[in-house]
Amino acid sequence: MRKTVNQRAWLFVLPVIVLVAFNALLPLMTVVNYSVQETFGNNEFFWAGLTWFEQVIGSERFHDSLIRQMIFTFTILAIEIPLGVVIALAMPRKGFWVSVCLVLMALPLLIPWNVVGAMWNIFALPEIGLMGWGLNALGFDYNYTRQPGAAWFTLILMDVWHWTSLVVLLAYAGLVSIPDAYYQAAKIDGASSWAIFRYIQLPKMKRVLTIAVLLRFMDSFNIYTEPVVLTGGGPGNSTTLLSIDLVKIALGQFDLGPAAAMSLIYFVIILLLSWVFYSLMMRNEED
Amino acid sequence: MAKITLEGMGKSYAPDPDSDPAWALRRLDFEFEDGGAYALLGPSGCGKTTLLNIISGLLDPTAGQVLFDGQDMAGRGPDQRNIAQVFQFPVIYDTMTVRQNLAFPLKNRGVPAAEIEARVAEIAEMTELTGMLDRRASGLTADGKQKISLGRGLVRDDVNVIMFDEPLTVIDPHLKWQLRSKLKELHRRIRRTMIYVTHDQTEALTFADKVVLMKDGEVVQIGTPVDLFERPEHTFVGHFIGSPGMNLLSCGVGNGRAIVGGAEVAVANGEAAANTGGRLELGVRPEFVRFAETGIPVRVSRVMDAGRYRIVETLTEGGEILKLLIDNETGIPSEATHVSFDPANARIYSDGWLAGGSRAA
Amino acid sequence: MKKRGLIPLVYILFLMLPIYWLLNMSFKTTNEILGGLTLWPQTFTIENYVAIFSDATWYMGYVNSLLYVSINTVLSVAVALPAAYAFSRYRFLGDKHVFFWLLTNRMAPAAVFALPFFQLYSAVGLFDTHIAVALAHTLFNIPLAVWILEGFMSGVPKELDETAYIDGHSFWSFFIRIFMPTIAAGIGVAMFFCFMFSWVELLLAKTLTSVEAKPIAAVMTRTASTSGYELGLLAAAGVLTIVPGAFVIYFVRNYIAKGFALGRV
């Protein structure tokens, strides 16, 4: 779209900037503050420069958490995005069933995250949970409290169950926003279903899919409550993702300095990767 | 290329279409000749888009038939009728280049590459897109994109009819006339049946050989632009076509003439009007009215400057408005005066319909 | 077409299984839940629900949550609409950077904000109010709303705006009567997501409230007592938490399914 230059458009954006900046500035300052200082308690702080950053970047513990986190995030992205799109494509566009589908699909999103974790915790237990019992009855040796592999499987399954609907809702809304005329024109042009998907549906869904990818990427990188309630980071630390590790350091060991530094490093990683994602998906948008 | 016939065709959205008002489109018998340029003209909601969609196959008629070259098209969708359609807003494949857009319909039909190349080049030249063939289609302006839409319709040689659904809606006003003349030129060149839907009379009258004027789901008149202008069959036609529209004055009839404000005025259909009842009106276009010594007495009330001409509003003794369209040289009397006109340009209408016409009451 | 319907069906069945399980748990005692696998409650009990409905702290928790979530949703979408429009139609100094900056506010773990927000909102005297939580949540909901709305607005050609002005509309008349209906799906989705993310957010809501505005999510953590989780109670609370959200999505479903009807303009 040809955008016109209009500096007065700032007025439209001002309320948004004010509200968000009001909330964002203080935490940012606080975190930066802590990350470059050292304390031995009693509210005494000493300048520590980049000590914490070096310590965190060099620590093997951080590397391990980071790798686990990357694996987790990219796995769920690889599952949830295509799955969400496929389901959105298959959903009815008009009629009574649309409401039913939308409401039912939205339900997992509405459950508080601690309840989600608790639900799956019981659901997947071998003795008293339907899924746990079911899998063992089918012949699998499944116990997520003791097997890292099973723990990962359960964690990923829980996330897919919880969040795929977000992708579905976004993709579906994007899909129904495509005017009928495009489908009519494609019919007149003799296009196959695959061609319709590739040349009409997918391009028109690009923006909403970008939002879905970025949202899931960021939220999964920061995920905390559900895995904590499900596995507590275990067995051992096999499912200790970045956020869990961070909280352990900050609250468990009261190492606010390293925790703050870690938060910042973390943030930069997400920022960089998001920027890359965003640029990749949005290239060719400007005329 | 085909002749399209509509036989007794009507469309209703109501589940039980018994009464007249339930019909979105009332019974219609009409033939679009092969290679003709037609316009479906009318105000919003008159049913012209419905009619277009029935012809193209996007909608099914409730009654009657649509025939292409004598073959009933019932049950056949748009892709089976070999039509092309240009929509109100540009419908293009954003991720493809202009060339790929134009080639798309042919590729889907398995046409060999060399032939596609040739056809695309030909159509690009016709629509003046040659210089932009390898640009991304999304980068073109609105009129460029509509040309691509049009091109996709032209590139297939088995197209029976090209339909246009208000295609100039999103075009910049100063480019509209350019695209309009291009369409007219293209039609003369390739001689394919074209049906153009619009609510803008200028577009319709400049493009079409024959205009179908519609109102409230009914066809009011079909004729050449000249017919519609000079011999309107209904007061609606007189009012809708022309700017300003036709003058309408209540009148009586006697001695084969119209009687307006006591004065007898000769008209074209005086005899026919003598035998009709109903509410009578005299219709004459402002272009044909002149100031005179005798005729209908009027008083000048307002003069509006329209650039190349002037519109003078006068009031009859009965208080009705009579407009004249005169050039900038002619003088305008300041006091009470008379107006007259050639009887050939004036007609009497009874309850809206032309007295003595094909649909007279 | 029948074959296609299978996909959503299977997916929904997959979603319903753990929800059935949740319902199941909510009608059991915690002992029964931990005791063994039962597909139906052996001792069907509504004591969990009774506990919730009879305890003022519990149902006030719902009321509080509903209150601040509603304020937040309306506020976020309302300020996001003009901003998204600006991003979609105009170029101005720093536009791309501000747009991306908005999203960066969602990139940090919530834990980072807990202490600073506590200090901030106490300092302005808003501690333990609904407004505080509603405002705090705008940090991540406004960027989300702006991004979603901008995405949908960019699908509407600028020619629509221009045609409306030619037809004589003022800006707001055009925006409210013509533009907003065409992005109905986007507004529906944005509202639902704002509602949802605010509704389930636990950490900040807990941090910023104590008694007056205590949300349901915080009340639920009371179920973690010394003897472990009171699972039955938690499950019942979870079920009840789904209900308002189900209403919201039902309410916006028409907007989501409506889609884009340019041809009727």
Side-chain half-sphere exposure of A56, counting CA atoms within 13 A:
25
What is the distance between the alpha carbons of residues C253 and C68, in angstroms, rounded to a whole number? 22
What pLDDT is attached to residue B21?
Answer: 58
For residue C228, what are the β-bridge partners?
A: C225
Instruction: Answer yes or no: are the C-beta atoms of B314 and B301 closer than 8 Å.
Output: yes
CA pair distance C181, C175, nearest whole angstrom: 9
> Which pLDDT score is estimated for C246?
84
Instruction: Show which of B233, B265, B283 is a domain's final residue.
Output: B233
| Closest of B352, B304, B360, B359 to residue B332, by C-alpha | B304
Closest chain A residue to B162, measured at CA = A188
Among the partner residues C15, C100, C192, nearest to A104 by beta-carbon distance = C15
Residue B359: inside a domain, yes or no?
A: no
pLDDT at B328 over 90: no
Is A287's CB within 8 Å of B138's CB? yes
CATH code of the domain in which B318 resides: 2.40.50.140
Q: Which of C159, C262, C263 sits opposite B142 (nearest CB)?
A: C159
Residue keyed to tokens 């049009």: B150
B183 in the same domain as B114: yes
β pairing state of A4-5 and B71-72: unpaired
CATH code of the domain containing B217 = 3.40.50.300
Tokens of A253: 């060991």
What pLDDT score was predicted for residue B265?
Answer: 82
In chain C, the domains with their CATH numbers are 1-45 (no CATH), 55-264 (1.10.3720.10)
Q: CA A186 to CA B92: how far, in whole Å?
A: 9
Rounded to two decimals, the pTM is: 0.81
Hey, of B89, B141, B163, B165, which one would you mutate to test binding to chain C, going by the most C CBs within 10 A of its CB? B89
Asked whether residue B334 carries a pLDDT value surpassing 60, the answer given is yes
CA gap C85, A8 in Å, rounded:
13
**Domain co-membership, B225 together with B106:** yes
Q: Please check whether residue A188 touches C, CB under 8 A.
A: no
Of A185, A190, A284, which is closest to B91 when you measure between CB atoms? A185
Same domain, B56 and B195: yes
Q: Which of B276, B280, B275, B282 is nearest to B296 (CA)?
A: B282
- Taking the C-alpha atoms of residue C249 and residue C188, their distance in angstroms, rounded to an integer, is 8
Q: Using 50, 70 and 90 to split pLDDT, how confident is the model at B29?
A: confident
Largest Cα separation within chain B, whole Å, is 77
* CATH of the domain spanning A59-282: 1.10.3720.10
- Residues of B in CB contact (< 8 Å) with C are 87-89, 142, 169-170
Residue pair B222/B213 in contact by the 8 Å Cβ criterion = yes
Residue C262 has a pLDDT of 33
Break chain A into its structural domains and give their ranges: 59-282
pLDDT band, very low/low/confident/very high, at B314 (cuts 50, 70, 90):
confident
- Full residue range of the structural domain in which residue B48 is found: 4-233
- B309-316 sheet: strands from edge to edge: B290-292, B336-340, B296-305, B309-316, B321-327
Tell me, what's the pLDDT at B14? Answer: 63
Predicted pLDDT of residue B296:
83
pLDDT at residue B185, rounded to an integer: 87
pLDDT at residue A254, as a whole number: 67
How far apart CA B84 and CA B158 sit, in angstroms, is: 10
Give, rounded to a whole angstrom, the gap between the first and last alpha carbons of chain B.
38
Q: Which residues of A touch B91 (CB under 8 A)?
A: 181-182, 185
Which chain A residues are within 8 Å of C85, Cβ to Cβ? Answer: 12
Q: B89: which chain C residues are within 8 Å (Cβ-Cβ)?
A: 157, 159, 262
Q: Tell me the residue type at A35.
A: S
Do B90 and B208 lie in a common domain?
Answer: yes
Residues B217 and B314 in one domain: no
Same domain, B197 and B269: no
> Which are the contacts of B108, defined by CB distance < 8 A and separation ≥ 6?
A189, A190, A191, A192, A195
Tell whether the model's pLDDT for residue B275 goes beyond 80.
Answer: no
Tokens of C33: 């839940």
C169–A contact, CB cutoff 8 A: no
First to last CA, chain A: 7
- Count of domains forming chain B: 2
Note the pLDDT of residue A75.
96
A187 contacts B79? CB cut-off 8 A: yes
Measured in whole angstroms, how far is the alpha carbon of residue C205 from the centre of its chain? 13
Is there a single domain that holds both residue B133 and residue B227?
A: yes
CA distance linking residue A148 with residue A239, whole number of Å = 7
pLDDT of residue C229: 62
Gap from A172 CA to chain C (nearest CA, Å)? 8
**Residue ranges of the alpha helices (H) in A111-233?**
113-123, 130-137, 148-176, 180-188, 193-196, 202-221, 225-230
Which residues of chain C make contact with A219, given a CB cutoff of 8 A?
106
Among the listed residues C219, C191, C221, the one whose alpha carbon sits nearest the alpha carbon of residue C80? C191
Q: Is A244 on the interface with C (CB under 8 A)?
A: no
CA angle (A252 as vertex; A249, A255 as ends), nearest 5:
45
Cβ atoms of A216 and A76 closer than 8 Å: yes
Bridge partner list, A77: none
Whether residue A210 contacts residue A281, with contact meaning beta carbons closer than 8 Å, is answered with: yes
**Residue B291 above 90 pLDDT?**
no
Nearest to C61 by CA among C130, C135, C127: C130
User: Which residue among B85, B95, B105 sits closest to A184, beta carbon to beta carbon?
Assistant: B85
Angle (nearest 5°) at CA B119 between B117 and B121: 70
Strand runs labelled E in C123-259: 224-225, 228-229
Beta carbon pairs, A and B, within 8 Å: 46
Residues B179 and B66 grouped into a single domain: yes
Give the pLDDT confidence score for residue B19 in this predicted structure. 55
- Buried residues in C214-232 as b, exposed as e (16+ CB within 10 A): bbbbbbbeebeeeeebbbb
Residues in chain A whose Cβ is within 8 Å of chain B: 179, 181-182, 184-185, 187-192, 195, 199-200, 203, 284, 287
Of A198-212, C194-208, C240-254, least confident by mean pLDDT is C240-254
Work out the pLDDT band at C121, boundaries 50, 70, 90.
confident
For residue A181, the 8-state DSSP code is H
Q: What is the mean pLDDT of residues C193-205?
A: 87
User: Can you tell me whether residue B95 is helix, strand or coil?
Assistant: coil
pLDDT score, position B1: 55
Q: A71 to chain B nearest CA, in Å?
A: 32
Q: Give yes or no for a contact between B194 and B187, defined as CB atoms under 8 angstroms apart.
A: yes
Sequential pLDDT tens for chain A (287 residues): 667 888 888 888 989 989 888 888 888 888 888 788 776 666 667 777 787 788 888 888 888 889 999 999 999 999 999 999 999 999 888 778 888 888 899 899 988 888 898 889 989 988 888 888 888 889 888 888 888 899 999 999 999 999 999 999 989 988 888 888 888 888 888 889 899 999 999 888 888 888 899 999 999 998 888 898 898 887 888 888 988 888 887 776 667 777 788 888 888 888 888 888 888 877 755 43
Are residues B61 and B210 both part of a single domain?
yes
Q: What confidence score (pLDDT) does residue B150 get? A: 87
Q: Is the pLDDT of residue B99 over 50?
A: yes
Q: What is the pLDDT of residue A40?
A: 65
CB C112 within 8 A of CB A31: yes
Q: List, for residues B107-152, the tens digit of each pLDDT value.
A: 888 889 898 999 899 888 888 888 888 888 888 888 888 889 888 8
With contact defined as beta carbons under 8 Å apart, do C200 and A113 qualify?
A: yes
Tell me the torsion sign for CA atoms B85, B88, B93, B99. Answer: positive
* ipTM given for this complex: 0.84
Domain boundary among B180, B205, B233: B233
Rounded-to-integer distance, Cα A162 and Cα A83, Å = 13
Query: Do B30 and B179 share a domain, yes or no?
Result: yes
With beta carbons less than 8 A apart as the criterion, state whether B26 and B20 touch: yes
Name chain A contacts of C8, Cβ cutoff 8 Å: 87, 90-92, 101, 105
Task: Evaluate if residue B48 carries a pLDDT over 80.
Answer: yes
Q: What is the 3-state secondary structure (H, E, C) of B9-72?
A: EEEECCCCCCCHHHEEEEEEEEEECCCCEEEEECCCCCCHHHHHHHHHCCCCCCEEEEEECCEE
β-pairing verdict for B336-340 and B290-292: antiparallel
Residue B119: inside a domain = yes
CA dist C219 → A227, C62, C70 (Å): 21, 9, 19
Cβ count within 10 A of residue C16: 14
Residues C244 and C265: their CA atoms lie apart, in Å, by 35
Percentage of chain C modeled with pLDDT above 70: 90
Nearest chain A Cα distance for residue C38, angstroms: 8
B58 and B179 within one domain: yes
Structural domain contains residue B80: yes
Q: Could you say which of B233, B250, B280 is where a domain stops?
A: B233
Is B88's CB within 8 Å of C263's CB? yes
Q: What angle do CA B169, B173, B174 make, to 5 degrees?
A: 140
| Chain A partners within 8 Å of B77 (Cβ) | 187
**Burial class of residue C166 (count of CB atoms within 10 Å of its CB; 0-12, 13-18, 19+):** exposed
| Residue B58 tokens, joined | 């996007």
**Which residue of C91, C108, C185 is in closest CB contact with A176?**
C185
Given a cut of 50, whether residue C263 has pLDDT beyond it is: no
Q: Do A200 and B96 lie within an 8 Å CB cutoff?
A: no
CB contact under 8 A, C151 and A274: no
Are residues B255 and B222 part of one domain?
Answer: no
